[in-house]
Chain A
Amino acid sequence: MNLTLYVWRQPNAKSEGKMVRYESKNVNPDMSFLEMLDVVNEELIAKQQDPIAFDHDCREGICGTCGMMINGVAHGPKKGTSACQLHMREFKDGDTIYIEPWRASSFPVLKDLVVDRTAFDRIIRAGGYISVSTGSAPDGNAILIPKQNADLSMDAAACIGCGACVAACPNGSAMLFTAAKVSHLALLPQGQPERKRRVVDMVNAMDTEGFGTCTNHRECEAACPKEISIQFIARMNRDYLIACLTRQEESETK
Chain B
Amino acid sequence: MELNSRIPSSPLEKKWEMHRFEMKLVNPANKRKYQIIVVGTGLAGGSAAASLAELGYNVKAFCYQDSARRAHSIAAQGGINAAKNYQNDGDSIYRLFYDTIKGGDFRAREANVYRLAEISVNIIDQCVAQGVPFAREYSGYLANRSFGGTQVSRTFYARGQTGQQLLLGAYQALMRQVQTGKVKMFPRTEMLDIVVINGKARGIVTRDMVTGKIQTHIADAVILATGGYGNVFYLSTNAKGCNTTAIWRAYKRGAAFGNPCYTQIHPTCIPVTGEYQSKLTLMSESLRNDGRIWVPKQKGDKRSCNQIPEEERDYYLERKYPSFGNLAPRDIASRAAKEVCDEGRGVGESGLGVYLDFADAIKRLGDKGIEERYGNLFEMYQRITDEDPYKVPMRIYPAVHYTMGGLWVDYNLMTTIPGLFVLGEANFSDHGANRLGASALMQGLADGYFIIPYTIGDYIATTKLEAADESHPECRQVQEEVTSRIQKLLDIPGKRSVDSVHRELGKVMWDYCGMARNRNGLEQALKRIPEIREEYWKSVNVLGSNEEVNQSLEKAGRVADFLELAELMCLDALERNESCGGHFREEYQTAEGETLRDDQNYCHVAAWEYGGPDRKPVLHKELLNFESVHLTQRSYK
Contact = CB atoms under 8 A, between A and B. Distances in A.
Contacts of A131: 176
Interface in B460-514: 495, 497, 499-500
B178 A125 contact: yes
Contact of B544 (A30, A50, A126): A50
Given A121-B67, A125-B179, A190 B128 contact: yes
Residue from B70, B165, B281 with most neighbouring chain A CB atoms (10 Å): B70
Given A140-B142, A145-B140, A188-B131, A11 B65 contact: no
A141 B141 contact: yes
Contact of B497 (A35, A45, A153): A45
Nearest to A124: B175
Nearest to A85: B383
B151 interface: no
B587 to A, nearest CB: 36
A197 interface: no
B84 interface: yes
Contacts of A144: 139-141
A154 to B, nearest CB: 4
Nearest to A115: B66
Interface stretch (B257-265, B269-277, B294-302): B269-277
A134 B384 contact: no
Interface stretch (B119-127, B218-226, B328-336): B119-127
A150 B136 contact: yes
A147 interface: yes
Given A58-B74, A63-B70, A120-B67, A132 B552 contact: no
B264 to A, nearest CB: 17
B172 A128 contact: yes
Interface residues on B, range: 35 or more
Contacts, number: 214
Interface in B429-462: 449-450, 453
A196 interface: no
A118 B193 CA distance: 25
B175 A134 contact: no
A45 B131 contact: no
A132 B384 CA distance: 39
A118 B66 contact: yes
B86 interface: yes
A245 interface: no
A65 B188 CA distance: 12
Interface string A135-167: 101111101111100110110011011000000
Nearest to A156: B133
Interface string A67-88: 0000000000000010001010
Contacts of B122: 135, 137
A42 B497 contact: yes
Nearest to B156: A140
A129 interface: yes
Interface string B280-295: 0110000000000000
Q: Chain B CB within 10 Å — which of A11, A53, A132 has the most?
A: A132
Interface in A2-17: 11-12
A116 interface: yes
Interface centre among B54, B74, B172, B497, by most chain A C-beta atoms within 10 angstroms, is B172
Contacts of A126: 179
Interface of B: 47, 50-51, 54, 65-70, 72, 74-75, 84, 86, 122, 124-131, 133-142, 158-159, 161, 163-165, 168, 171-173, 175-176, 178-179, 185, 187, 210, 239-241, 273-274, 276-279, 281-282, 380, 383-384, 386, 449-450, 453, 495, 497, 499-500, 541, 543-544, 548-549, 551-552
23 contacts: A38-B276, A53-B549, A55-B66, A56-B240, A57-B65, A57-B72, A57-B241, A58-B72, A58-B75, A65-B65, A85-B383, A117-B67, A121-B185, A121-B187, A125-B179, A135-B122, A137-B128, A137-B129, A139-B125, A140-B124, A140-B142, A147-B136, A188-B131
